[in-house]
Structure 1
Amino acid sequence: MEKLRMTSPDLTQANIDKLAELFPNVVTETRDADGAVKRAIDFDALRQELSDHIVEGPQERYQLDWPGKRAAAFAANAPIAKTLRPMREESVDFDATKNLFIEGDNLDALKLLQESYLGKVKLIYIDPPYNTGNDFVYNDDFAATTKDYLDRSGQVDNAGARLTANSETNGRFHSDWLSMMSPRLKLARNLLSEDGAIFMSIDDAEMGNLHRLAAEVFGEHNFVGAMVWAAGRKNDSKYISSSHEYILIFARDISSLDSRVGAWRTRKEGLDEIYAEYGRLRRAHGEDNAAVASGLRAWYRQLGEDDPAKRHKHYSSVDERGVFFPSDLSKNSPTSRSKYDVFHPVTGKAVSMPEHGWRYAPEQMATLLAENRIKFGPDETTRPTYKRYLSDAEDEIPYSVFYVDGRGASGRLKSLLGGAVFDNPKDEHVLRKIVEFGTSKDDLILDFFAGSGTSAHAVMLQNAKDGGSRKYILVQLDEIPATHSNAAREGYRTIAEVSRERVRRAGKKVNMERAADTAPLDTGFRALRIDTTNMADVLRTPDETNQLDLGERTSSIKRDRTREDLLFQVLLDWGLELTLPIRREQIDGREVFVVDDGGLIACFDESVTPAVVRAIAERQPVRAVFRDDAFATDAERINAEQVFAEVSPDTSVKAI
């Protein structure tokens, strides 16, 4: 039930509404005295609408602007005192996997990954929240520094939880969304390799704004194109059935993308079915090529028009090498070497020559003849053709418009999880195609709006298909599902839990469906969660400290943090990848972590002996790290440094 306003009408807003009906282009957004974003009128634009000449005003320039843009830029660069803590119990094959699943806000995650994965990601796919007018889950509140501001700007609920209403009526509809996306795209760009690209799913509401924002971040010249995904007819629209969404594609550096050999090719659909039918016909008819070809043409005719194999029905000729399409050998325009005689293999006479001669030079034609790649007619009166084998033309450039029924993905996910616990998941087979043409076999893929975990599923499917060893990093906010949702009824506490469970089950399914004689795929992941720094706040003024509690303040590490927690913060600080192999050992009764076979050796025991220090130094690791408070005196710390200086002078030694 709506509440009475109990105030006089807001005539200013009423006037803005009236002007918006007459001149939609003069409505903009600004901040009020309290910092809240609201609708306003661009008076320079209004003056121009009401004038019969060009009105003088501020200098014009082409740009995308919105209230909060500078704060969003600041947010991208501002440091955070956070870390990633391992969750072994939530992981799959923690010690061996090369995949990561990070739980927490993706803005924090992207910042934490900057050094370890700078320029290492080949493909980023994201499906950000569409601007539907619902409440945002990602609430950065860049300008919020006090509870008063959050209260008066309506960004907290009665319990004090952050809540940013994003309805069109509050005047922040586009600004909040752009402020959310801008810093994330800037940070994501840093992670892309020079020949990498980002694919962004989006609907009509923010497609234009996302394009302009991405053009600012990546450069308009790095715009690759837009794919249109037709996902099936919807009947919930008033005027037209919105049955599509877009995938905007920007390259990190399009010139580097252009230099890739064989870049952005995808295997044609329906080929396996054609090869299977050819094999069946060959077994049935033996060496009778005419019978095999006749049977193949009959098979094509009975296929449905939407069957992907039907696209290749022109590949209906066969020989002992396989299925081929007779291609024209004519030259488009004559050259000095395009006209020469080609003789029929049976009659020995010169065959009919095209008007401008042959497509291939004489020596190339001789090679093709020797390899039986030229098809002749019964005599010289029939012009020969080139045998273009299907096996030589399996790849194609991806189409910008494609149709995949969106209901299929929902059904498969429901079957996998045993219930409809996630609404409108992305199709893993569509994403698999993107992974196929956008990456090589050992590349890294990032999805920082992981949702139901479709990207990880797609990576595993493509690795199963071509034997690749691609890795992925998924980031998902620990968003609590709505109380009435199926996910909540199934006992999932967060969307991240749903995503992890989907990846677990998908990994098992992918491995089960592989041939028994193939090596298992890496279907595991290291689960990490974003948390506050492991380091305790030990700074105190003399007035805040008494002699009795001085001993309690000696440790700079929080009491609830494990040694493995410390290790992962060290990996981040040193810019090391978070999936490096980790081995635990005991040296003189102390636990030691050996990372990457000696790339880093760490000991976080609260005391270390000279024997431990020397044993680590004798292994000559690239890096070594200890707790600062593990050395009882400054003299012990200095002695440790001296040991490394003598035994392993190239080791970088640090303390936390």
Structure 2
Amino acid sequence: MTSPDLTDANIDKLAELFPTVVTESVDADGNVRKAIDFDLLRQELSDHVVEGPQEHYQLDWPGKRAAAFAANAPIAKTLRPVREESVDFDSTKNLFIEGDNLDVLKMLQESYLGKVKLIFIDPPYNTGSDRFVYEDDFAEEAEEYLRRSGQVNDLGERVRSNIESSGRFHSDWLSMMYPRLKLARNLLAPNGVIFVSIGDAEAASLKHLLDETMGANNFVATVVWQKVYSPMNSATQFASVHDYIHVYARNAADWTSNLLPRTDAQDAAYKNLDSDPRGRWKAVDATAASGHATQSQFYELTTPAGNRFTPPPGRAWLYTEPRYQEMLADDRVWFGSDGNGRPAIKRFLTEVKQGRVAQTFWPYTEVGHTQDAKKELLARVAFSEGDTVFDTPKPTHLIRRMLALATSASSADVVLDFFGGSGTTADAVLQQNAEDGGARRFILVQLPDGGDDQKKGIPDVARERIRSAGRAVSDAAGLTGQGLDIGFRALRVDSSNMADVLRTPDDTAQLLLDELEASVKIDRTNEDLLFQVLLDWGLELTMSISVELVHENEVYVVEGGALIACFDDLVSAEAVLDIAKRQPIRAVFRDSGFESDAVRINTEQVFREVSPATDVKAI
């Protein structure tokens, strides 16, 4: 109902002539639009170098500064345990966290700093239909922000749809990924590595983004995964049959991938035609290129049968004549089954590398394809009518390939996936541990998105899949399954447990003072407080927790004394003394649990005398 936008039409015409001058900018309403870089346009129309801003190599886009700020901005949130959604809550070392992954990555910064061995993420591919759900404005009060955004989810987070009309633009996607990758890097162990799956739309942008956040010198490889078993002939140009996986190490100079198991085809070439007691061997060429050979490698060779051989043109013998005689005496030279053939060297299977180096092309015959992945999901989760079944999940064999390359069965490596989706990564970890007896631990993060009373949400699907996978690997392992960790602690992002008790005197009526005493929100449990304390002190969220009754007070003992906490409304002096005698590393109480300031001061004095090394706090 308006006249044509001539500016857009002119930009499109210039884009046809000079595609390199087209960029993106933000209009007055905050919308991303096509724009022209006039400095580059002047250069295109000039026969000499045009003076302009100093050039330097960088990845830039509208909103980059705000994205960098988002990575560093503090949040007043916590993680609350959800026992009813968990499996083996008290003993498991695995985590499933429901919430915005940007919030979660911030909260994990101290507890898991430098502890994650492998990160795998499968972020939105920015194809025009993905949904971006993330906070992008930290300058407003919450009420103003919700009124301005106009669309929020249950946690009050903005929902931005990257519809087809804006899917051509990269800025929103880059702004979503940038702070998350910056925070993820901090969690990687010194020998850690990150694998990021991506499609054609953002493969190049993601590579530049990872160069900036992880360091270009830490680039390891870009893997091409053959994801499609049966290509679509309906494609009008090219049928897409692959995705990319960018691989970056925390310190590439010090990172070495594990070897993959040798294949049956590789071992089949090794036989034992002469019943050599040293086992199977393969005949390899006894010559080498002559370019770097010494004169002593050119000679006429006489075989035991009397045949004489010289190296072919451009070749030299692999060994000098004295060394050849030693190999002959050691029965390491093969002259064919009749003894009259050209000499070859016997290379024994026990002498070759007991594994194979991973290549950058992963065919579906080795790591599965998307159809396999969907079958795996349907086998784990019972979908009902109305449920949304994932169209492009990843196969567990794909994730297990990464686990084989980057983790060890002999250590409790932490595996993080903060775009958890249907829970494939957790499923793969459980399978791998069941197969090789490993103790790998997973942390999955997934947005609270898509569910209601009639259908499963994505977190519901993921949790159900992990439970089903745990039962399956445990049953398959038989009696040994008793030693497998098939559980997970379910946690949920929520606002801080602490109430807003800041009031000015003019805003506080004297008769309401009693209501303002409590610093903890009334709907929060003692276990909620415990997990906030774990985060505040930088302790791992899977530490063992036991609950004891000490002189009528409920006491939490974490990891055998790494932390002892009592959040009762009234802490007895006897309980304080008992806790102090255990000499925990840390002790924490609820501030309102002390009858008076004198009781609190007395508590501090007890610890100074009985356990002076204990770090004591009150919340």
Match of 1:385 in 2: 345
Contact 2:474–2:482 under 8 Å retained in 1: no
Q: Alpha-carbon deviation of 1:37?
A: 2.8
Match of 1:166 in 2: 162
Matching residue's letter, 1:654: K
Match of 1:250 in 2: 248
Question: What CA distance in whole angstroms lies between the structure 1 residues aligned with 2:300 and 2:593?
Answer: 88
Q: 1:426 aligns with which of 383, 394, 405?
A: 394
Match of 1:607 in 2: 570
Q: Alpha-carbon deviation of 1:540?
A: 1.1
Relative distance call for 1:134 and 1:154 in structure 2 (3 A) is farther
Contact 1:38–1:172 under 8 Å retained in 2: no
Q: Alpha-carbon deviation of 1:52?
A: 2.6
Matches within 5 A, 1:457-472: 457-472=427-442
Question: What CA distance in whole angstroms lies between the structure 2 residues aligned with 1:369 and 1:599?
Answer: 65
Match of 1:268 in 2: 262
Q: Find out whether 1:231 has 2:227 as its counterpart.
A: yes
Question: What CA distance in whole angstroms lies between the structure 2 residues aligned with 1:364 and 1:120?
Answer: 54
Q: Alpha-carbon deviation of 1:50?
A: 2.3
Q: Alpha-carbon deviation of 1:408?
A: 1.3
Contact 1:331–1:338 under 8 Å retained in 2: no
Question: What CA distance in whole angstroms lies between the structure 2 residues aligned with 1:365 and 1:614?
Answer: 79
Matching residue's letter, 2:460: E
Q: Find out whether 1:402 has 2:396 as its counterpart.
A: no
Q: Find out whether 1:116 has 2:111 as its counterpart.
A: yes
Scaled by the length of structure 2, the TM-score of the pair is 0.88
Q: 1:473 aligns with which of 437, 440, 443?
A: 443
Q: Alpha-carbon deviation of 1:348?
A: 12
1:123-173 CA distance string (max 9 Å, x none): 11000011011252323223673777777777679xx98332324544872
Matching residue's letter, 2:282: F
* SS, match of residue 170 in structure 2: helix
Relative distance call for 1:43 and 1:335 in structure 2 (3 A) is closer
1:506-525 CA distance string (max 9 Å, x none): 12112222254565321111
Matches within 5 A, 1:641-656: 641-656=604-619
* SS, match of residue 598 in structure 1: coil
Contact 2:422–2:462 under 8 Å retained in 1: yes
1:204-224 CA distance string (max 9 Å, x none): 100110000110111111111
Relative distance call for 1:556 and 1:349 in structure 2 (3 A) is farther
Contact 1:341–1:350 under 8 Å retained in 2: no
Structure 1 residue ranges, 4+ long, deviating more than 6 angstroms after superposition: 146-157, 335-344, 347-354, 359-366, 372-376
The number of residue pairs the alignment matches comes to 596
1:458-504 CA distance string (max 9 Å, x none): 112222222211111110111115x9xxxx86x31x20110111111
Report the identity percentage.
Answer: 54
Contact 1:215–1:223 under 8 Å retained in 2: yes
* SS, match of residue 578 in structure 1: coil
Relative distance call for 1:32 and 1:610 in structure 2 (3 A) is same
Matching residue's letter, 2:110: E
Question: What CA distance in whole angstroms lies between the structure 1 residues aligned with 2:326 and 2:178?
Answer: 56
Question: What CA distance in whole angstroms lies between the structure 1 residues aligned with 2:307 and 2:416?
Answer: 59
1:172-204 CA distance string (max 9 Å, x none): 721000000000000000000111111000001
Matching residue's letter, 1:477: L
Matches within 5 A, 1:138-537: 138-142=133-137, 145=140, 162-167=158-163, 169-170=165-166, 173-232=169-228, 233-235=231-233, 237-257=235-255, 260=256, 263-269=257-263, 271=264, 309=265, 312-317=267-272, 323-328=280-285, 356=317, 358=319, 383=343, 385-389=345-349, 393-404=353-364, 405-419=369-383, 421-441=389-409, 442=411, 443-480=413-450, 491-492=455-456, 494-514=457-477, 516-517=479-480, 519-537=482-500
Q: Alpha-carbon deviation of 1:22?
A: 2.6
* SS, match of residue 592 in structure 1: strand
* SS, match of residue 56 in structure 1: coil
Q: 1:27 aligns with which of 19, 22, 30?
A: 22
Contact 1:228–1:246 under 8 Å retained in 2: yes
Question: What CA distance in whole angstroms lies between the structure 1 residues aligned with 2:350 and 2:478?
Answer: 25
Matching residue's letter, 1:407: Q
Where does the alignment leave 5 or more consecutive residues of structure 1 unmatched? 272-308
Q: Alpha-carbon deviation of 1:34?
A: 3.6
Matches within 5 A, 1:56-135: 56-134=51-129
Q: Alpha-carbon deviation of 1:53?
A: 2.4
Contact 1:266–1:396 under 8 Å retained in 2: yes
Pairwise CA RMSD: 3.3
Relative distance call for 1:583 and 1:143 in structure 2 (3 A) is closer
Q: 2:592 aligns with which of 629, 653, 656?
A: 629
Question: What CA distance in whole angstroms lies between the structure 1 residues aligned with 2:75 and 2:27?
Answer: 29
Contact 2:86–2:490 under 8 Å retained in 1: yes
Question: What CA distance in whole angstroms lies between the structure 1 residues aligned with 2:214 and 2:508?
Answer: 51
Question: What CA distance in whole angstroms lies between the structure 2 residues aligned with 1:350 and 1:112?
Answer: 76
Question: What CA distance in whole angstroms lies between the structure 1 residues aligned with 2:520 and 2:252?
Answer: 45
Matching residue's letter, 1:422: F
Relative distance call for 1:323 and 1:502 in structure 2 (3 A) is farther
* SS, match of residue 267 in structure 1: coil
* SS, match of residue 217 in structure 1: helix
Contact 2:305–2:340 under 8 Å retained in 1: no
Q: Find out whether 1:541 has 2:504 as its counterpart.
A: yes
Question: What CA distance in whole angstroms lies between the structure 2 residues aligned with 1:418 and 1:268?
Answer: 37
Where does the alignment leave 5 or more consecutive residues of structure 2 unmatched? none
Question: What CA distance in whole angstroms lies between the structure 2 residues aligned with 1:86 and 1:325?
Answer: 58
Contact 1:339–1:357 under 8 Å retained in 2: no
Question: What CA distance in whole angstroms lies between the structure 1 residues aligned with 2:39 and 2:152?
Answer: 35
Question: What CA distance in whole angstroms lies between the structure 2 residues aligned with 1:236 and 1:520?
Answer: 50
Relative distance call for 1:415 and 1:165 in structure 2 (3 A) is closer
Matching residue's letter, 2:500: D
Question: What CA distance in whole angstroms lies between the structure 1 residues aligned with 2:169 and 2:10?
Answer: 19
Match of 1:596 in 2: 559
Q: Alpha-carbon deviation of 1:49?
A: 2.1
Question: What CA distance in whole angstroms lies between the structure 1 residues aligned with 2:576 and 2:532?
Answer: 21
Relative distance call for 1:238 and 1:154 in structure 2 (3 A) is farther
Contact 1:166–1:173 under 8 Å retained in 2: no
* SS, match of residue 592 in structure 2: helix
